[in-house]
Amino acid sequence: MRRPPGPQPILWRVRVLIVEDDGDMRYAAAAALRASGLAVDAVGDLPEADETLFVNSYACVIFDRNLPSGDAADYVRERRARGWAPPVLFLTARDSVQDRVAGFASGGDDYLVKPFATEEFVARVRSICRRAGQVRPPVLRVGTVEVDSARREVRHRGLVLTLTPKEFAVLEQLALRDGAAVSRADLVESCWDEMAEPASNVVDVVMAQLRRKLGEPAPIETVRGVGYRLRDSDLA
């Protein structure tokens, strides 16, 4: 007998925006976050940020303080005054106590001084994304599948699986829905950046890889006309 799905939480959106005018820095920061399984959009200045924020929602926005059109702290302060809520991480070479205090006072949630270690940058971004998301257990369990988001570790029937960052991100989204179906479009929005097309086969490719690694009976089920869901394969 298959257990009915529980409440359907909103997907934890692991999509971030980087606003950085230095092309090399912007590329490196985006690459590091994508390698950790996050979906990333990146722009070079505040007018582009305005356009992107109008279209998309983000779990976190990362701003360089010094941008061609002005200080990002002033931009964030103005948006906060209008009720804008996403968490903000400032990246800057300004390292005085006064600068850090001003960054927090303008509505920033974290402040990282350049140059910085890539590992620390990724850890800080993931941390403020989690704080902004829904309350969630440290380990997600659906049947014999366990997803440990903090350790970036997946176990199936007690065995640790070796997954790519994208495979982990997709499986994490399925586990968050606890048996409810997740559409391809939702998976693309949560796990890929804006260059991915929902109609492409990127989701199908990752699903095939996950099913191969999870083995039979496969706990990932295709829901015709909808998308995919993670189920307890022992109850199938």
Distance, in Å, from the CA atom of 207 to the CA atom of 67, rounded to the nearest integer, reads: 40
State whether 227 and 185 are in the same domain. yes
pLDDT over threshold 90, residue 26: yes
Q: Are residues 116 and 19 in the same domain?
A: yes
Helix axes 97-105, 72-81, angle to 10 degrees: 30
> Could you tell me if 73 and 106 are in contact, meaning their C-beta atoms sit under 8 angstroms apart?
yes
Nearest of 122, 184, 174 to residue 146 by alpha carbon: 174
Q: How far apart are CA 103 and CA 100, in angstroms?
A: 5
CB 212 within 8 A of CB 172: no
Please report whether residue 3 resides in a domain.
no
Residue range 84-134, pLDDT digits in tens: 888 999 998 877 788 788 888 888 889 998 888 999 999 899 888 876 654
7 assigned to some structural domain = no
Q: Is the pLDDT of residue 23 over 70?
A: yes
Decide which of 132, 152, 181 is a domain's last residue.
132
Q: Are residues 119 and 172 in the same domain?
A: no
Residue 194 is part of a domain; what is its CATH number?
A: 1.10.10.10
Do 90 and 176 belong to one domain?
no
Mark which of 132, 159, 182 sits at the end of a domain: 132
One-letter amino acid for residue 14 of the chain:
V
For 45-86, the pLDDT digits (tens) are 999 999 998 888 888 999 999 999 999 999 999 988 887 888
Mention every residue, 6+ apart, whose C-beta is less than 8 A from residue 5.
177, 178, 179, 180, 229
pTM: 0.58
Please determine, for residue 20, whether its predicted confidence score (pLDDT) is greater than 80: yes
Answer yes or no: do 31 and 117 share one domain: yes
The two tokens of residue 46 are: 């505040």
> Are 66 and 44 part of one and the same domain?
yes
Q: What is the CATH number of the domain that holds 120?
A: 3.40.50.2300
Q: Which domain holds residue 128?
A: 15-132
pLDDT, position 2: 39
Number of domains in the chain: 2
* Residue 1 belongs to some domain of the structure: no
Residue type, 72: A
